[in-house]
Structure formats: C-alpha cells, structure tokens
Structure 1
Amino acid sequence: MKTMQSSMSFTKTWGITTACLFVCGLFFISMPVQAATYKALPVTLSGNGTLTMEPGEVKEISVTFQNSGDTTWYNDGAGYVSLYTYEEKYRRSVFDPGTWLGPTQVKRIIEPVVKPGEVASMNFQLHAPLTEGSYEEVFKLASEDRAWVDGGEIRFKIIVAKEEIVAPSSSNGQDGYGASLEIQSANRVKVKAGSSVLITTGFKNTGTKNWTSYSINEMDLALASTSVAFNHPSWQGSQLAYGAEAVAPGQIAYLTFALLAPSINGSHTAEFQFTANDVDIDNAIFELPVEVTGGSSAIASHDNEDVVVDYRLDEEPLLRVGILTVDEETDNEVVITCDDADFELRDTEGSLLAEFDAGDEVTAYYLAGKYYFDRGRGVEVSSYGLRFLPVEENAVMTILNFDYRETRNGGYAYNTYRNILELRYNSYKDRVWLINELPIEQYLYGLAETSNISPHEYQKALVTAARTYAYANARYEVTERGEYMHVNAYADDQVYRGYEHEEDSPTIVQAVKDTQGMIVTYDNELAITPYFSRSDGRTRAWSEVWNGTKAWCKSVEVPWEKGGTLWGHGIGMSALGALYMANDGYEWDEILKYFYTDIELQQWWE
C-alpha cells in the first residue's frame, strides 16, 4: 500500500541508506556549485582545431558555440559577445590578417540574439606568418566589459609549411575507400522555420585506407532530391563540418554540424555527402527528414513552437570514462593484461603496434611527448596515445599495478574494466589519464552510486537518472572536452568502479537490464537529472540554487524526510526520499515522475 508516510523503521532505512551513501555513494557528498552566468560549449571548429597553412596564406575559419548558460547573448549593445585572443589575454597574434576588430579582438558573433540552448556562429580569417613551424593559437569568448564566457575557449594547432608536390594518382579515387553511417543523433526533426538544429553523425571506415581528413558537404544539385537549402552561417561554402584526425579501417569519424531550417513549410529531406581524404565516398550519404512549421505557408505562427529533435539512436552509444590519472600512485606507468582473451595494442591513429596472448603483460607510460611500451622485447616508442583492445567484445582488462586496497585504503582492488583501455596525455591539464571506452549500459553495470542491497525499484530509478546524465555527456565529441573523455569515475561526475563492482552487484546489473536504454525527457528532449543525498522535507527548484529555470526541476514536498538535514544541492531527486518511496511500494517510474515534474521516460536504444 502506498502512503505518504513511511511504514518502514528509521533504523532499517538508515542502514540501507548508509550503505548506499557511504560505502558506494561518494557522488552524494555535498559539493559547492558555482554556476557561471555566461557559459558556452564549442560545437564546430574548422579542422577540429588542427590546421595546415602555407607561409603567407589567408584561411577562412568558422566556429560555432552553443549558449549553455542562462543569459542571452547579443552581437551588439552592452555586454555583446565576441572573440578575443587568450593565453595570454589580449596578446597580439602573428595570425592577425588585419581584418579583425582590433589587434586583440577577433570578431563578434553573427546572430543578433542567441538564447540559452541556441547556437552562435562566427567567421574570421587567419593569416599565416612567413616563418615555417608549429604554432598554437588560443581564443576565448567574452561578454564585453562583463565577463569571460566559461567554456568559450578554442585552440588551434597550426603547422605553417610549404606545400609538397604530390604526383596525381591514376586510380579512379574510390579504390580502398568505403564508409557506412553508423550513428546519427536524430532520425527526424520537427523545427520552426529559421531555427537552428545541431546534428552529430558517425561514419565508420569500411575500406582499407586510413582517413587523414573527412567532412560533410552539400550534395551536388544534380544528385540531390530537393532544392530546399539548409545553409547555416557556420558552413564554409558547401562544407558543413571538417575533421582532421586519423581514422583507421573499422574506426568511426564523428562530425557535429548545424542546419538552418528553410522558410517553406512542409516535409523536406536534407541530404549530405560524406567525404574522406577529399574523396566523395559512394553511398556515404546522410539523409534527414525535416518537418518545417511556422514558415511562409503557415496560417498562423506560434512563437512558442521550439525545435523538437528525435535523439533516439539505432545503436547504444559508447562512453569514455577517465578511471585513473597515471602519476606517482602507479610509478607513472600502467601494467596491462587481459585474462579473458587475446588483445592488441594500437595507437590512437589505428596502427597496430603489438599483439598479445591472453595473460601476457605490457607496461606503458608517457614521457616528454612520446608514449613508451615494453612487452618483454625492450622499450618501444610511439608518437600517439596507446589503446589496449581485447579481440573479444566485452572482455575484461586488468591494471596489474593499481589496487585500491594498497593506495586508497579500499576494500576491493577495483582494477578490472570491460572493453578498451587507452593511455592518453592531454595538454589541457598537463596530465595522463587511463580511459575506459565501453557501451553506456556496461558502464552502468559498474556504477557505484548505490549498494547491491538497496530496493530494486530505487535502483532502477537511480540508474535511469545516471544513464541520462551519462548520455548527455556522451553526445559530445571528446576532442571538445579537453581531456579526451566524456566523464570521470569519481564523485564530480558519477562514481564508477568497473567490472569488480559489477560482479559484486548483481541486483544493480539487473536494474540496468530492466531499464535498458531508458532516458528521462521533457517535451521530447533530454532532461538534466540532478540528484542529491537527502532533503529537509522538500527539494529545491532549480532557480533557488542555480541560475535560470528547468521546468521539470520544481520544489516538491518530501514528507518522509521532514525535520531532517539537507545534504547536497537539493535539486531533483533526493536519494533518501527515493529510497523511502521504494520501501513504501512506489515503482521506479513513479519515483522519477514524483521528483521530476511532467517528465516522460523514453527508450532511446535497445
């Protein structure tokens, strides 16, 4: 029987909660939150931040940023948003072409008004110096005379060198090239005329040649099935987005780009060609059905009709989790093996470096710009990050020289992880991470935000909120996140302990399976799902703690916790309150819908 008063004793519930919060739930520790008024997320960047220029060459650059804060941006008037040189602030750049707003101020955003969640674009020029060499240029958004925009930093690595003359090939250009569309962030779009939509695609290299560059481009008009244009100001001519990272056969190239809805109402199909190494690959076409409303043929226009995007995926997305900073704790190296299966060592460019039998060991480390590994034949070197890949899907890798019991006073080793491990240095924070790459559902198997003994309906509610958080991060390219990962394994994201925790938590694994692919949404869009330790009888509305509002994060009464002490930010789902509700017979979806107002639960992958 459901009741708004707990029928369970405080002792029993507190015992379970203590196990949830103190044994596993480090995420629930209250941490101060400093929400910036101005925040941004880089979306597209010419060359993905890597450029090659000839001495004296002038290159057109395009950039887009999502306004991820709670303040509207303007391109004119008080507090207008523009791009400045950075690191050092207001420095004079040798790439200034003379067309910037000033010696340290590059350009303003193009759009007159960019509301929170919308995309701003910017086009400007870089003029290469005459001296050949490697350069790094850093820029950052600023609201004039108000603040630097948090997250609005972009970085270009630029090689200035004379072009090499390459003899033309006699091939027809298609030999060795193949691609298949594996991932698309939207299967169809309903959008108001003139609105922008962000799309992410992933094309798999099914050929035999490595890709060193790739792009999404407008279809040739003779081949396109529609004459309706989707041109966005962020495009470079007919090119929507461009990437310059190496993609080996079997790997996936990700591109994020913006579309501008046409002014004509009705159903349209946006069609674009995928290109690798300047070759239009046969049948590598991205098609997106687009329904436009509120346009020229509409009887009435509805100003509150916003973009509705279907983000459901055909395949489960991958997540990259930073599990260990490689430092003095492990003598600045890792020792990797796989007892389940044979495994390979490849660099992050896709090149095979070594093959191992199950049980073999390899030591790896980073030093002074190079990656080193030792498989018993002496030290070998690579210029690129190292990836340890089991040949069997879902096999478990082990970090032999890392043990929570020895260095962190833990009760378990927590040194086993499914699927791929990657050793990667980043200059963003000048440190080396060991990153675990695996499907989101398997990540949730190892989630340590609650214990194996907590109520099953509570577990299902918690893993659904956690899945929503993980997917919200997985939608972004890791090159935009600074450290080549989507989340880390600690309390500032979500506590993740890998395969050993999975083995010890069969009820959590079952909760993940019971809610496979379920995501919290509001108005058919992904909803942010904050949660915290316990309330004092009510949760807080988003606007009480952080800037702005979220319609689904309203204050609700939590009578089970009346008279208690607030632990955490207080927004969203109270862990203790949710646990009480589960004990009182509430089901997982009822718990989520109690704490998050007017949300829906949708299965976005199977």
Structure 2
Amino acid sequence: MPIYVKKGDLNFQFNSATTQNLDLEPGETKMLSVELKNTGNFAWNSTPDTTLKLGMDVPRDVNSMFIQENIGKGRIWQAPQAVAPGASVKFNLTIKAPAIRTDRTEVLRPVIDGFGWGVGTPLTIHLKNTITEVPFVAQSINAGGSELGKVTRRNYASIKAPIPASGVDSKTIRINLSYFDKVATDVGLNSNYKLIVDNKLKRRVRAFDAVSVKEANGTVTVTVNNSSYQGRVVRIIPVDAEVGVFQLKGYEHRPGWNLALNDNQFRGGAEFRIDGGKLITINELPVAHYLRGIAEVSNGSDPEMIKTLMILARTYSVYYLDPARNKFKDKPYDLDDSPDRSQKYLGYGFEQRSPNVSIYMADVISQVVVYNGQIVITPYFSRSDGRTRSGQEVWGWTNTPFLVSVPDTYCANASADTAAGHGVGLSGCGGSGMAAAGFGYQEIIKYFYKGVTIEQR
C-alpha cells in the first residue's frame, strides 16, 4: 500500500553550528563536521522517492564554489542510508578556497527532489577574506605631478593571479585596445615595471611613478618623472607578471549602463607604437589573464555556462595564436578587444566586477576544443531564430565539419525577430538554457560543435 506524506513534514535540524564563518587563504582546505537530525514524521531514504540530499538553497540549485562534495545540479551530499524520525546522520564537508580571493556566502538546506525543500534553520557557510585597500594612483606630468585620482583596488594577495607554468593558458597573447584614440596618455602602475624602448631595457619604473606617453612625428615619447625616452616601440612590462596592472588615463571605454565606470585598467604589459599613422596600445599578457577580462558572459551566469564560454574563448584565442592563422594580417597584435572583430575584452575592471568568471575558469584550466587532434576555431553568438547555422552556410567554409546547423531547443522564445549574431557555433541563449536545465559544459559544447573532444593542452 502506498504511503502518502503531507507537504511540510520534511523537517530537519542541524545539531552542529548553523553558521560557519571561514577565513581561508586561496587554495587552503578545511573539513567541516556536520550532524543533521530528522525532526519530521517519515524516514528519509526509505524509498527512492524519499532520497534526501543537501542542496544549494542560496544561490538556488547551482553548484557550490568551494564545497568539494558537489554531486551536480546544485546538490552537495546524499544521505547514505535511511534516517528515521528522531535519528541523526553525521557527515563531513570539505571546503577549499578558490584559487583567487573571494567573499561569498552559500546556504545549504535538505531537499528531496520531486517533493520539496526542508523546513528548519539552514546551514550557512561564509567564506571570507580580509581585504585592505591600497591606492592605485596615476600621476600626471602635464598637471605638474598632481594626482589624477585614486582608484582603490584590493591588496596584492587579492590582485595576484597565478600563471600556469605550462599549457595554453601560459602562452602570451597581444590584444589591440581598439577604443584608444588619443595621441597622449598618462599611465598608472600598481607595481614595479620595466621600460623597454626599441627592444632595449632603459630602466625600472616604480609603482606610482609619474609616467606619460605621447606620439609626435611618427615616434613615441615616454616620460618617467623628469626623464624622457623616444623610439618606435615603447613597452612597459611588469616585473611580477602575476601582480602587474596598468591604467590608461586617456582611455575612455564606459558601459552605457553605468557611465561612472571606465574600463581602462589591464593586467600585464602595455606596448605603444605607431600603426596606420596613429598611436595604438597593445595589451600583452598571458592567456590565463586575458580570459579573466573577457566580458562575453556575466558574473551571474550559470557556472556551467561560464565554463563553456571560457573554454570557447580560450580555444578561439589559441587558434589565432598560430602564425599560420593570423586574424589580423601584417598587424603587430593577435586579436583586438571588439566583439565585432574578436572577443569582447574589458580587462581588469570586468575581472573585479565578475569574480565568478575567474573562479569557474580555474575549473577548466587549459581546456580547449579539439577535432581530429587539432585545436579548432570556435565561433559563438548571442541568440538564434530557433536553429544555428553551419560555417558553410554563413561564411562558405568547407573545412569545418564540426560547425553544422542544430536546433536551438533551449533558447526561449527564439524567433527571427529576436535573433542576434552570425548564427554559427554556440548560441549564448541556447547554451544558457541548457545550463539552467542541468547540462554540463562538455554536453553543451559537444551539442553545438559536433564530433569534438575537450582536451587539456
């Protein structure tokens, strides 16, 4: 005879502390002992329909950023045996701080899928870090050395971003900052840099030295405090590549949704040269740091969608690092920062606003899309009209059998009126829909790119 259980009887109590405040260094691990009591009126795990799990309640139904026992789709742990009313079950949770500093709270609550969430005081885990503020100051020589303004950023422990010793993420990429349209700019530095002019090391530049760059008569002049240097190519390279961030005061790149922001800070080094008769700025940095500043996915996106986009963006970037496939022929850079020509790159400001992107990127480090043993091109776009297009259909490509048309089933309200983008490869709308439905990043990629594998290179 079937047993019917009324809604609301999934009652519980954590016998251990319900609020855990943890202060861990990046990569540090801590074990939490948890005791959960059944205060309801039916046994947990007594039938397949009463399988009890610990689920992510806030944010709801997403995988934890720091609990290692993730079992997928926002579930952390599953009761190993039946737990009668009044009985308790003990288990451990392994907490590992992400590779970068973060300050995040996650709330866990028992759940029986298909039945409902438990009633009681949930388990709240707050993983925090101590943040101190340091000034990021760009001095202006033209203004007599007065401060152009302070942009506070986190201390070096927070800014520091590891660079893999090997693999595609360790490669150097050069990005043209295409929105830069000035003949001069002041440069702010957060740490020590090296000044190189026409491939010759000129001097060490200290953090917060007054630095300016200008173009005149086809040459570039850089001034550090009261000393000036001229050349065809001026490079400012960080001494510690894992820490260095520079700021271009003459660079205006403000998002329409918040004009108070200006994405003019970038990891890595800056190269100034004349190209096409005008001064350009090239941001030179490791692929791992470049990916942190790619704004093709938001901080609030599903973790599986973030991983998907990071792999596709990495693959796209590394594909064009091959000299035989130079996207910008005869130019001194690999890609630029425009989504119309390359990928949307905003740099360090976006990284600071979107910590989840860096956190989930670390989960898929150096992973790329491969077809027949070769890294391939991985275009992606916003949303389709209900199906994606093949590479041949849009661009006449005959050597991309993995870029075929597929139904964009999970893109809600897809139509010709709402379609946006070229239509080839991943649909951002459809990929997000698949992630929300519980598909993992490998499943999403392999659906939109047929016959591919995902490998660490």
Which whole-Å CA distance do the structure 2 matches of 1:407 and 1:543 have between them?
35
2:284 pairs, out of 437, 442, 448, with 437
8 Å CA contact 1:325–1:434 kept in 2: the answer is no
C-alpha distance 411-512 of structure 1, shift in aligned 2 (>3 A): farther
Aligned pairs for 1:14-33 within 5 A: none
| Corresponding position of 1:404 | 253
* 1:223-246 CA-partner distances (Å, limit 9, x unpaired): xxxxxxxxxxxxxxxxxxxxxxxx
8 Å CA contact 2:383–2:414 kept in 1: the answer is no
Cα deviation, residue 383, structure 1: 2.8
| Residue 584 (structure 1) aligned with residue 432 (structure 2) | no
Unmatched 5+ residue regions in structure 2? 1-165
| Corresponding position of 1:353 | 202
1:418 pairs, out of 267, 288, 295, with 267
Scaled by the length of structure 1, what TM-score is found?
0.45
| Residue 551 (structure 1) aligned with residue 398 (structure 2) | no
| Corresponding position of 1:391 | 239
Question: What is the DSSP-based 3-state SS (H/G/I as helix, E as strand, rest coil) of the residue aligned with 1:559?
Answer: coil
Cα deviation, residue 314, structure 1: 7.9
Which whole-Å CA distance do the structure 1 matches of 2:220 and 2:202 have between them?
12
C-alpha distance 326-535 of structure 1, shift in aligned 2 (>3 A): closer
1:344 pairs, out of 188, 194, 199, with 194
1:564 pairs, out of 399, 415, 427, with 415
Cα deviation, residue 406, structure 1: 10
Cα deviation, residue 531, structure 1: 0.9
Which whole-Å CA distance do the structure 2 matches of 1:529 and 1:498 have between them?
21
| Corresponding position of 2:447 | 594
| Corresponding position of 1:335 | 186
1:471 pairs, out of 303, 318, 332, with 318
| Residue 528 (structure 1) aligned with residue 395 (structure 2) | no
C-alpha distance 359-445 of structure 1, shift in aligned 2 (>3 A): same
8 Å CA contact 1:537–1:563 kept in 2: the answer is yes
Which whole-Å CA distance do the structure 1 matches of 2:279 and 2:296 have between them?
25
1:487 pairs, out of 321, 335, 357, with 335
Cα deviation, residue 337, structure 1: 2.3
Question: What is the DSSP-based 3-state SS (H/G/I as helix, E as strand, rest coil) of the residue aligned with 2:317?
Answer: helix
Cα deviation, residue 479, structure 1: 12
Aligned pairs for 1:494-505 within 5 A: 494-505=343-354
Which whole-Å CA distance do the structure 2 matches of 1:587 and 1:514 have between them?
13
Question: What is the DSSP-based 3-state SS (H/G/I as helix, E as strand, rest coil) of the residue aligned with 1:591?
Answer: helix
Which whole-Å CA distance do the structure 2 matches of 1:385 and 1:454 have between them?
40
Which whole-Å CA distance do the structure 2 matches of 1:337 and 1:451 have between them?
27
| Corresponding position of 2:156 | none
C-alpha distance 333-408 of structure 1, shift in aligned 2 (>3 A): farther
8 Å CA contact 1:325–1:432 kept in 2: the answer is no
Matched residue type, 1:470: S
8 Å CA contact 1:404–1:410 kept in 2: the answer is no
Percent of residue pairs bearing the same amino acid type? 29
8 Å CA contact 2:382–2:420 kept in 1: the answer is yes
8 Å CA contact 1:476–1:486 kept in 2: the answer is no
Aligned pairs for 1:130-529 within 5 A: 313=167, 316-324=170-178, 326-327=180-181, 330=182, 332-339=183-190, 341-349=191-199, 351-377=200-226, 380-394=228-242, 395-405=244-254, 410-426=259-275, 429-476=276-323, 481-491=329-339, 492-529=341-378
Question: What is the DSSP-based 3-state SS (H/G/I as helix, E as strand, rest coil) of the residue aligned with 1:453?
Answer: coil
The number of aligned residues is: 285
Matched residue type, 2:318: Y
* 1:3-28 CA-partner distances (Å, limit 9, x unpaired): xxxxxxxxxxxxxxxxxxxxxxxxxx
Matched residue type, 2:390: A
Report the aligned-residue RMSD: 2.4
8 Å CA contact 1:404–1:411 kept in 2: the answer is no
C-alpha distance 415-314 of structure 1, shift in aligned 2 (>3 A): closer
Cα deviation, residue 400, structure 1: 2.7
| Corresponding position of 2:45 | none
8 Å CA contact 2:235–2:270 kept in 1: the answer is yes
8 Å CA contact 1:518–1:602 kept in 2: the answer is yes
Which whole-Å CA distance do the structure 2 matches of 1:410 and 1:337 have between them?
21
Which whole-Å CA distance do the structure 2 matches of 1:523 and 1:346 have between them?
42
* 1:450-480 CA-partner distances (Å, limit 9, x unpaired): 1100101011111111111111112228898
Question: What is the DSSP-based 3-state SS (H/G/I as helix, E as strand, rest coil) of the residue aligned with 2:212?
Answer: strand
Matched residue type, 2:208: G
C-alpha distance 405-385 of structure 1, shift in aligned 2 (>3 A): same
Matched residue type, 2:234: L
